[in-house]
Amino acid sequence: MKTAPVNRIIPFSNVDGPSNRTAIFFQGCPFNCRFCHNPETINMCCNCGDCVKTCPVKALSLIDGKVVWDKNICVGCDTCIKTCTHNSSPKITEMSVDDLMKEIKKSAPYITGITLSGGECTLRKDFIIELFPKVKELGLTTLLDSNGYLDFEENKEILEYCDGVMLDVKAYDKDFSNWLIRYPQETILKNLHYLLKVGKLEEVRTIIFPDRDQENEETVSYVAKVIGDNCRYKIIRYRQFGVRDEQKEVLGDYTTDEDYALKYVELAKELGATEAYLI
Ligand code: SF4
Ligand code: SF4
């Protein structure tokens, strides 16, 4: 049976897709977005041990060269995450599909579905292919929250039991994409078209950065023209919370002005994306 590294499970979330859902966050992401709010999900722990000595309640130990986390002792202070300089966390649980199903079943009577997030959930493609049919047997809906890394057309099997993908389109311009997310944008834009074509595009999200008029306009215009009124379009204000200090110096240590961001919601609507809204 497949396993996957799980960073966190939120049994009841109303911000990870429509209605009340269980949100599962996998560890690991191939991007390194400058604005990442949870950079501790980017890399797998390299077991350097630096965080072990900083834990105030001794919930961490280094055993045979591996960091072991005792969740029963942990008080959730996140000192370990603040200590880690590798964009990782020692609080990762390797879970099998059955382990995760046990957790999902606990909240199943109170939720409409599950959302897989991260990190980047599609890195765990084989695990998802095994998990989703079991989730559907419970009568729950299945969503992927993805940065668009995986080529969905080349990996159609992940969509068979998936109700929809919430896709980040962070940059239309190639150079801006390479700078912002440190990754090319071609597959992401291809996914935008493909997921729309096969009826699996649940929503699209774009972040509005302060004083980036040209890049903001290019990305919003492109997405709005492609999606029209076919799905939700979340226009999200850049927020500095959780962003690494060195990146705040580049992007700004403040939140995008609301009136500035609203201009792009209006632009999206003018171009046909009638379900555009600001968050
Ligand atoms: S969050 Fe990290 S540092 Fe804090 S108690 Fe838990 S393991 Fe220790
Ligand atoms: S979580 Fe970070 S600091 Fe702790 S052992 Fe892993 S890589 Fe080192």
The pLDDT tens digits for 143-164 are: 999 999 999 999 999 999 999 9
Of the residues 72, 91, 110, which one is the last residue of a structural domain? Answer: 91
Query: pLDDT tens across 85-125, in order?
Result: 999 999 999 999 999 999 999 999 999 999 999 999 999 99
Q: Give this prediction's pTM.
A: 0.95
Q: 243 pLDDT band (50/70/90 cuts)?
A: very high
How confident is the model over 170-192, as a mean pLDDT? Answer: 95
Q: What is the largest CA-CA distance in the chain?
A: 60
Rounded distance, CA 13 to CA 114, Å?
Answer: 9
Range of the domain at 70: 45-91
Interval between CA 49 and ligand 2 midpoint (Å)? 6
Residues 6+ apart with CB under 8 A from 72: none
Question: CATH number for the domain including 87?
Answer: 3.30.70.20
Residues 53 and 33 in one domain: no
Interval between CA 54 and ligand 2 midpoint (Å)? 11
Q: Which of 45, 60, 61, 72 has most ligand 1 atoms within 8 Å of CB, for mutation?
A: 60
Interval between CA 95 and ligand 1 midpoint (Å)? 20
pLDDT of 1: 79
Question: CATH number for the domain including 17?
Answer: 3.20.20.70
Residues 220 and 169 in one domain: yes
Of the residues 91, 125, 152, which one is the last residue of a structural domain? Answer: 91
Query: pLDDT tens across 210-224, in order?
Result: 989 999 999 999 999
Mean pLDDT (the chain) is 97
Q: Does residue 207 register a pLDDT over 90?
A: yes
Of the residues 91, 124, 157, which one is the last residue of a structural domain? Answer: 91
CA angle 104, 105, 111 (to 5 degrees): 70
How confident is the model over 29-37, as a mean pLDDT? Answer: 95
| Index of the ligand 1 atom closest to the CA of residue 75 | 5
Rounded distance, CA 271 to CA 217, Å?
Answer: 12
Alpha carbon nearest to ligand 1 atom 6, residue = 74
Q: Is 250 close to ligand 1, i.e. is its CB under 6 Å away?
A: no
Alpha carbon nearest to ligand 2 atom 4, residue = 51
How confident is the model over 163-190, as a mean pLDDT? Answer: 95
Q: Is 76 close to ligand 1, i.e. is its CB under 6 Å away?
A: yes
Rounded distance, CA 250 to CA 246, Å?
Answer: 7
Q: For every residue of the chain, which 3-state class applies, written as one string?
A: CCEEEEEEEEEEECCCCCCCEEEEEECCCCCCCCCCCCHHHCCCCCCCCCCHHHCCCCCEEEECCEEEECCCCCCCCCHHHHHCCCCCCCCCEEEEHHHHHHHHHHHHHHCCEEEEECCCHHHHHHHHHHHHHHHHHCCCEEEEEECCCCCCCCCHHHHCCCCEEEEECCCCCHHHHHHHCCCCCHHHHHHHHHHHHCCCEEEEEEEECCCCHHHHHHHHHHHHHHHCCCCEEEEEECCCCCCCHHHHHHHCCCCCCHHHHHHHHHHHHHCCCCCEEEC
Rounded distance, CA 42 to CA 185, Å?
Answer: 18
Q: Which of 45, 66, 93 has most ligand 2 atoms within 8 Å of CB, for mutation?
A: 45
Alpha carbon nearest to ligand 1 atom 5, residue = 74
Interval between CA 75 and ligand 1 midpoint (Å)? 6
Ligand 2 pocket, CB under 6 A: 45-51, 67, 80, 83-84, 86, 88-90
Residues 130 and 237 in one domain: yes
